[in-house]
């Protein structure tokens, strides 16, 4: 395993890998170096080590801090209003407010839970599968607390790291609601999200992203020691720059399971259920694209070259995916649709997420085109095979795109294909030996773990809720529309 | 006295209204309607879902006219609403038993 670890991508590293002695992060968590693949998650470093604690006021870079603050706000924009509009436009006009409300409330619930216990369980040191209790209620965090990055000696304020990770958790939960839109009971959704966030999001985030940071990695032994304290999938060397497994596959599986357990909408397959406002869909997709620059480039955790690479890839892969989907639709279905372009946009963003800081620009274009075409199949051919009513195609886009991206990251991260390779924190250089086959297998392990974990947690949670409070609204309420029946209001004059 | 009910293409409404005014029709009622006839609908594709739209939007015009201008009124509608393509619509004529102007209580032809 250690070997894998070593290889972690240089994603962030590219830029400032400062060999330096670096700052030692204050907390137990930060310790050494190791790989740097999973971008988003350097662990927070709470406690203090033997050396004097690292103080943000002395070590934080104002540029990094400013960029992370902005990135965090950009990611918030993805959910509110980006995702709400993207999803809302896809529903019938009697259900758009229910989607907006679900996004708003789930976002807010998860935000508060994140501060209470989510951050601690995901990003402090504990076991390989879940973190510890050090930051419960954000205990001990103050403006001088720092979190490690992917560069030795570079830290950012822990407050902004915590907030940046919070918006990831919230959008992941909000993504799920698209699978059972137009029929699920509001209270059931909220309860499900609390359970799923706790038992699926937090462990997966910890497994993929937690590590103590690179500062204490000086030799093979310290690398091994640091790696041993990281999350389970991090130890294996899974590369997930901004959340292909943690966010997209995780959410898509939960959605797919939900669409099966909750059942189809009344009239599904018989009545027309066409999107009621494709302009909202286009607006939402465009806001997602915009906000995704914070999501991916922010995952570098620094304002550096790695962030710039992730930014460019987020830009290029998405455009390529729009072209891929639209051209495929034009050829196969006769007409290129606006809905297709918007869907291709999201598919490309999803697929480039795990790869953003690891692949080169041409690799990102290849990933984008592939994602655009394969996700078109995801919402047509595959959807028919699966046979469930995944209302807004969460699995077809986020699941198929997420899995494609996670696997292709292993291919295009290869320096021979223009990727960054994996950073070796011992040598402080890109590891010379990159094997696509072995990285692909590691990536597949990340995908399989996430699929099974999220699938099991989701199934149990949905079944439990079905027994206790019921998952669906009554038939007449569904026919009337959730806007009126669940929320007592309507979006449009009738 | 007759009631003319015509179903026409929506974009022809203004031309039909002008033509009817010219032949002396003093008022019409317009309703936006949907329906099907010989003209086929169209299909819409949203990701994997295909919807066949059978009912096309049309405009329904109703005008009560005196027998003396009936033929000219019908001819005016025919000419102004015609494109020569399928879907131009239909004209129905039916007898009217009684007409009353609500404001004055006038009846018959003077109520039109």
Give the model confidence (pLDDT) of A320-355 as tens digits.
999 999 999 999 999 999 999 999 999 999 999 999
Q: Rounded CA gap, A175 and A259, in Å?
A: 13
Give B104's contacts (C-beta < 8 A, 6+ positions apart). Answer: none
Q: Is the pLDDT of residue A11 over 70?
A: no
How big is the CA angle at A398 (ends A67 and A325), to the nearest 5 degrees? 100
> Which residues from chain B sit within 8 angstroms of residue A272, using beta carbons?
51
pLDDT tens readout for residues A354-384: 999 999 999 999 999 999 999 999 999 999 9
DSSP A392: T
Q: Rounded CA gap, A149 and A33, in Å?
A: 10
| Closest to A140 in 3D by CA, of A301, A299, A29 | A29
Mean pLDDT throughout B15-20? Answer: 96
> Which residues from chain B sit within 8 angstroms of residue A273, using beta carbons?
49
- pLDDT at position A36, please? 46
A275, A381, A384: residue with CB nearest B46: A275
Q: Rounded CA gap, B12 and A286, in Å?
A: 38
Q: Rounded CA gap, A365 and A120, in Å?
A: 37
Q: Tell me the pLDDT band of B101, cut-offs 50, 70 and 90.
A: very high
- pLDDT at position A17, please? 39
Q: Which residues of A25-55 are buried (b: 16+ CB within 10 A; e: fewer)?
A: bbbbbbbbbbbbbbbbbbbbbbbebeeebbb
Q: Is the pLDDT of residue A116 over 60?
A: yes
DSSP A264: P
Mean pLDDT throughout A398-407? Answer: 97
What is the rounded average pLDDT for all residues in chain B?
93
Mutation for A interface: B41, B44, B48, most A CBs within 10 A:
B48
pLDDT tens readout for residues A443-486: 999 999 999 999 999 999 999 999 999 999 999 999 999 999 99
Q: Is B49 on the interface with A (CB under 8 A)?
A: yes
> Which residues from chain A sit within 8 angstroms of residue B51, using beta carbons?
272, 274
- pLDDT at position A45, please? 53
DSSP A310-359: HHHHHHHHHHHHHHHHHHHHHHHHSS--HHHHHHHHHHHHHHHTTTTTTS
Portion 70-89 of B in contact with A at CB < 8 A: none
Domains and CATH numbers, chain B: 1-109 (3.30.70.120)
Q: Rounded CA gap, A227 and A386, in Å?
A: 39
Q: Rounded CA gap, A177 and A184, in Å?
A: 9
Please report, rounded to a whole number, the percentage of residues in chain A having pLDDT higher than 90: 88
Neighbouring CB atoms inside 10 A of B103's CB total 7
Q: What is the distance of C-alpha B30 from the center of its chain?
A: 7
- pLDDT at position A271, please? 86
- pLDDT at position B15, please? 96
CA distance B54 to chain A (A): 12
Q: Is the pLDDT of residue B50 over 90?
A: no
Query: φ, ψ for residue A121 (rounded to 5)?
Result: -70, -30
Contact by Cβ (8 Å): A215, A32 = yes
How big is the CA angle at A235 (ends A120 and A222), to the nearest 5 degrees? 90
Mean pLDDT throughout A250-271? Answer: 95
- pLDDT at position B42, please? 84
pTM of this prediction?
0.85
pLDDT tens readout for residues A79-105: 999 999 999 999 999 999 999 999 999
- CA pseudo-torsion sign A129, A31, A359, A295: positive
Helices (H), A152-249: 158-176, 186-196, 202-209, 220-228, 232-236
First to last CA, chain A: 62
Q: Do A274 and B45 touch (CB under 8 A)?
A: no
Beta-sheet strands, E only, within B1-112: 2-8, 29-35, 42-46, 49-53, 56-65, 89-95
Q: Rounded CA gap, A225 and A262, in Å?
A: 45
pLDDT tens readout for residues A201-246: 999 999 999 999 999 999 999 999 999 999 999 999 999 999 999 9
Q: Do B51 and A274 touch (CB under 8 A)?
A: yes
Tokens representing residue B44 in the block: 């819409």
What is the rounded average pLDDT for all residues in chain A?
91
Contact by Cβ (8 Å): A355, A363 = yes
Q: Do B49 and A273 touch (CB under 8 A)?
A: yes
Q: Do B45 and A384 touch (CB under 8 A)?
A: no
Q: Is the pLDDT of residue A31 over 50?
A: no
Contact by Cβ (8 Å): A355, A307 = no
- pLDDT at position B40, please? 76
Helices (H), B43-96: 67-81
Mutation for B interface: A268, A274, A374, most B CBs within 10 A:
A274
pLDDT tens readout for residues A47-83: 544 677 899 999 999 999 999 999 999 999 999 999 9
- pLDDT at position B37, please? 86
Mean pLDDT throughout A248-254? Answer: 98
Tokens representing residue A437 in the block: 């086959």
Q: Tell me the pLDDT band of A27, cut-offs 50, 70 and 90.
A: very low
Give A119's contacts (C-beta < 8 A, 6+ positions apart). Answer: A44, A135, A138, A162, A165, A166
Q: Is the pLDDT of residue A34 over 70?
A: no
The larger pLDDT score, comparing residue A478 to residue A30, is at: A478
Q: Is the pLDDT of residue A4 over 60?
A: no
> Which residues from chain B sit within 8 angstroms of residue A335, using beta carbons?
45
In a 3-state reduction of DSSP, which class is residue A453? helix
Q: Which residue of A has its CA nearest to B48?
A: A380
B44, B47, B51: residue with CB nearest A379: B47
């Amino acid at each position: 395993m250690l070997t894998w670890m070593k290889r972690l991508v240089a994603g962030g590293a590219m830029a400032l890998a400062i060999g330096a002695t670096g700052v030692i992060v204050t907390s137990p968590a930060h310790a050494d170096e190791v790989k740097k693949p999973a971008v988003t998650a350097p662990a927070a470093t709470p406690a203090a080590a033997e050396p004097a604690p690292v103080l943000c006021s002395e070590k934080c870079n104002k540029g990094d801090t400013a960029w992370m603050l902005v990135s965090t706000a950009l990611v918030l924009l993805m959910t509110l209003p980006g995702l709400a509009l993207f999803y809302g436009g896809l529903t019938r006009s009697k259900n758009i407010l229910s989607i907006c409300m679900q996004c708003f409330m789930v976002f807010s619930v998860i935000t508060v839970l994140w501060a209470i216990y989510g951050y601690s369980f995901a990003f402090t040191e504990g076991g390989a599968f879940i973190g510890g209790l050090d930051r419960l209620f954000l205990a001990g965090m103050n403006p001088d607390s720092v979190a490690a990055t992917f560069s030795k000696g570079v830290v950012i304020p822990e407050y902004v790291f915590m907030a940046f990770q919070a918006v990831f958790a919230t959008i992941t939960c909000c993504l799920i609601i698209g699978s059972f839109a137009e029929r699920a009971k509001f209270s059931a959704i909220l309860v499900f999200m609390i359970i799923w966030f706790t038992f699926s999001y937090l462990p997966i985030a910890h497994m993929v992203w937690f590590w103590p940071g690179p500062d204490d990695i000086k030799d093979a032994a310290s690398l091994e020691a640091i790696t041993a304290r990281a999350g389970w999938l991090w130890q294996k060397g899974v590369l997930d720059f901004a959340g292909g497994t943690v966010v997209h596959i995780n959410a898509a599986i939960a959605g797919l399971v939900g669409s099966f357990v909750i059942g189809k909408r009344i009239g599904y397959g018989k009545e027309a259920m066409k999107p009621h406002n494709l302009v909202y869909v286009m607006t939402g997709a465009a806001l997602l694209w915009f906000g995704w620059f914070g999501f991916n480039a922010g995952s570098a955790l620094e304002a550096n070259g790695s962030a710039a690479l992730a930014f460019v890839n987020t830009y290029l892969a998405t455009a390529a995916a729009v072209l891929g989907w639209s051209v495929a639709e034009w050829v196969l279905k006769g007409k290129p649709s606006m809905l297709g372009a918007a869907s291709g946009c999201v598919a490309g963003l999803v697929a480039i997420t795990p790869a953003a800081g690891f692949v080169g620009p041409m690799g990102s274009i290849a990933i984008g085109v592939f994602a655009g075409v394969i996700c078109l199949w995801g919402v047509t051919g595959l959807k028919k095979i699966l046979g469930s009513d995944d209302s807004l195609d969460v699995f077809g886009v986020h699941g198929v795109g997420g899995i494609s991206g996670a696997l292709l990251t292993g291919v295009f991260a290869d320096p021979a294909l223009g990727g960054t390779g994996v950073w070796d924190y011992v040598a402080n250089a890109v590891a010379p030996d990159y094997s696509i086959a072995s990285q692909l297998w590691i990536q597949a392990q990340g995908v399989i773990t996430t699929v099974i974990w999220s699938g099991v947690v989701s199934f149990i949670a949905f079944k439990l809720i079905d027994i206790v409070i019921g998952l669906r609204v009554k038939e007449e309420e569904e026919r009337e529309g959730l806007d009126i029946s669940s929320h007592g209001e309507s979006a449009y004059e009738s | 006295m007759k009631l003319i009910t015509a179903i026409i293409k929506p974009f022809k409404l203004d031309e039909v209204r002008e033509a009817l005014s010219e032949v002396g029709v003093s008022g019409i009622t317009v309703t936006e309607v949907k329906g099907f006839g010989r003209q086929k609908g169209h299909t819409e594709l949203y990701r994997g879902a295909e919807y066949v739209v059978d009912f096309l939007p049309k405009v329904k015009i109703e005008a009560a006219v005196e027998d003396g201008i009936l033929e000219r009124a019908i001819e005016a509608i025919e000419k102004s609403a015609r494109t020569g393509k399928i879907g131009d619509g239909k004209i129905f004529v039916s007898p009217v038993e009684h007409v009353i102007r609500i404001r004055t209580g006038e009846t018959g032809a003077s109520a039109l």
